[in-house]
Structures are given as C-alpha cells and as structure tokens.
Amino acid sequence: MVRVDPNSSVPPFEQVRTAYAARINDGTLPVGAKLPTVRKLAEDLGIAPNTVAKAYRELEEAGLIETRGRAGTFVSAVGDETRERARQAAADYAALTRKLGLDRAEAKAIVDAALG
C-alpha cells in the first residue's frame, strides 16, 4: 500500500509517484497489475484526486504505467525496460567519461550531483 506523509517536505504527488515507481521497478507490482482508480486512491490516502492524477500522469510519461480508457490503469510492459534503459545510459556515460579522461571518483561525483 502506498502511503503519504502529510508532514513530509516532499509533495504528496511526488510521494505517490516515487512509491509506485519503486514498487514497479523492484517487481512488487508486476507488469499488468491494475492500479487503483484516481478517485479510490485519493480517498484511501486522504488527498485530492488531482494530486493522484498528477502522479499517474508522470508515471505514464515515464512509461511505467498505461491507462486503458475505462478498463483502468495498469503497470506497463515498458516498465520492465526501465532498468535496461538505465543500464545502457550508465554504460554510455562510463564510456564517455573514460574517453574524456575522467577518473572513476570524479565520474561518480558527477552522477551523485546529478541525482541530487
């Protein structure tokens, strides 16, 4: 179950988005799993439906979920590709940093800074 901490400095939509993204990426929510409706999840979490809708929109833009009209919202098969895309991006970055002559520590520091 996704939870929202009303006392957190992280906006509720971001809490919902990151919780679902983590569950999709770690396989807890498998491809094809149906997500609650926007209204149902908003009611369960005690937040506005627009907040949930924003989180779902961002998850859909990232390719992690897909909306199938009246059938509902589901974990997308594209979600399985997320880790592979990240691995490929990391491999490309590693190759570029080697080409530029950066050492491992500096390359990692750049990644850490980018991840915030």
Report pLDDT digits (tens) over 37-90: 999 999 999 999 999 999 999 999 998 999 999 999 999 987 567 677 788 899
Q: Which CATH class is domain 12-75?
A: mainly alpha
Residue 21: the pLDDT is 93
Classified as helix, coil or strand, 75 is strand
Measure Cα distances from 101 to 10, 104, 105, 111 in Å. Answer: 37, 10, 12, 16
Residue 77: the pLDDT is 84
Prediction pTM value: 0.71
Residue 79: the pLDDT is 58
Residues of the chain with CATH 1.10.10.10: 12-75
Q: What is the mean pLDDT of the chain?
A: 92
